[in-house]
A and B are shown apart, each in its own frame.
Chain A
Amino acid sequence: MRNLFLFFWKNYFLFLFLLLESLCVYLLVQNNNFQRASFINSSSAVSANILSATHDVNQYFLLKDANEKLLKENAELRSKTKESFSLILNSHQTVSDTTFHQKYTYTSAKVVNNSTNMRNNYLTLDKGSNQGIKNNMAVITSSGVVGQVKDVSANFCTVMSLLNSKTTISSKIKKDGSYGPLMWDADDNFGTATLHDIPTHVRLITGDTVVTSAYSTTFPENIMVGTVESFVKKSGEFFYTVKVKLSTDFKKLSYVYIVENIMKDEQEELEKISEPDKKSK
């Protein structure tokens, strides 16, 4: 027993190293499992407050841009109000009063931390569970998709940016609806992403619009993603790999919207019930 202690004492440097390193790896693996030790990320009080203070300073330099964007958006919204539409009577619209119900709600939030030059990028927003934010909600701006809420604390939340190797967004070519997963591959920079699995019979043109598809329970349909920049068909494959120029400028994010899908739980529960049937067939 004494020899054992002596052995540990002599090599304490190595054992301390192994102990600390395995603690790091444990934290790292936990982090990948979506259940992060939420007390030591940037949602935590100390770092989030420092970041939000520096952001308040930086904010002044972006005010002009933000104002222009808000004006543009106001104009866009005004053009969508009831007053700016003339009523067209047809058989569907006359009974549509009670057939529409709200499916998505929007919360605006301020970006207090953002990165674009890592392989896995995250944002921090100044809204949290006190404001009704839950994980997996969609995050968008007026110009396009931003990402998905990952972790939530009382007053902050972190967002897995589209610029992240783990992000996948179901997207489609707007003009004919063929869809595929949009990912951020190793050769993409902060302005592009890659859309996979578009069948080759689709007649793609550079500049085609790419929007979110209806198959995701997170994102509303037809949110702008970007435009087609180039597309290739690798030999032996039946699909195009499409480079998409993102419409969101990730370097200039300052205000975003968090979107909640009210019927998400209902849909997912229903799909879960049907799943065992699929497997038994």
Chain B
Amino acid sequence: MVTTIIRNFIRFIILILVQVLIIKNIELGRFVNPFLYILFIIALPFETPKWLLLLSGFLLGITIDMFYNTMGMHAAATVFMAYIRPSILNLFSPREGYEFGTQPTIQYLGVPWFLSYSAILIVLHHFILFYLEVFRFSEFFPTLIRIIVSSVSTLVLVVLSQYLFQSKKEVE
């Protein structure tokens, strides 16, 4: 239990540093903005209490906001994502429910399950984030393209990072 908390805390800090110091500085054009940091919410254990889910979502978002100068924008998107996560998990749950002690990752539940689960969360997060950033309807379609392209890039990064962690899992 305690190790889970420590591991998630370290993951929180590493993901924020990676997002702010590395990904933020990679320029892929105006349409592509990957946000790897939301992997933190995707990969939280199943038995995380709901209030902790929302609070950690809020903390994560507000920390990213500090670095991006976008007060409240990322926080709103991550809080919404944390709120919708239990429903998405229910939607995709296996018949006998999730095994205790497992995590929502590729190693435990396979590629197709993980892809559909994380894709929905990522698209919802990006949808809220980008429309809050633009804050007007006149740029609806250019923003939609940005959402789709950025979601795909985030998904690729999330899946890649899953494979990086897998080798570590086998060592343990």
Contacts and interface: CB of A to CB of B under 8 A. Distances in A.
A103 B162 CA distance: 59
Nearest to A151: B69
B12 to A, nearest CB: 15
B54 A117 contact: no
Given A20-B79, A24-B61, A115-B68, A186 B139 contact: yes
A46 B17 CA distance: 13
Contacts of B29: 117, 189
B70 to A, nearest CB: 8
B66 A41 contact: yes
A122 B86 CA distance: 35
Given A21-B80, A26-B72, A189-B30, A40 B58 contact: no
B24 A16 contact: no
Nearest to A19: B54
Given A30-B71, A41-B66, A41-B69, A116 B50 contact: no
Contacts of A30: 71
A115 B23 CA distance: 12
A41 to B, nearest CB: 5
12 contacts: A16-B54, A24-B58, A28-B71, A40-B62, A41-B71, A54-B21, A116-B27, A119-B134, A186-B138, A189-B29, A190-B30, A251-B27
Given A17-B54, A37-B71, A41-B69, 19 more contacts: A13-B54, A20-B54, A20-B55, A20-B58, A20-B79, A21-B79, A25-B72, A28-B73, A28-B132, A36-B71, A41-B66, A42-B67, A42-B69, A44-B66, A46-B66, A51-B67, A117-B27, A117-B30, A117-B32
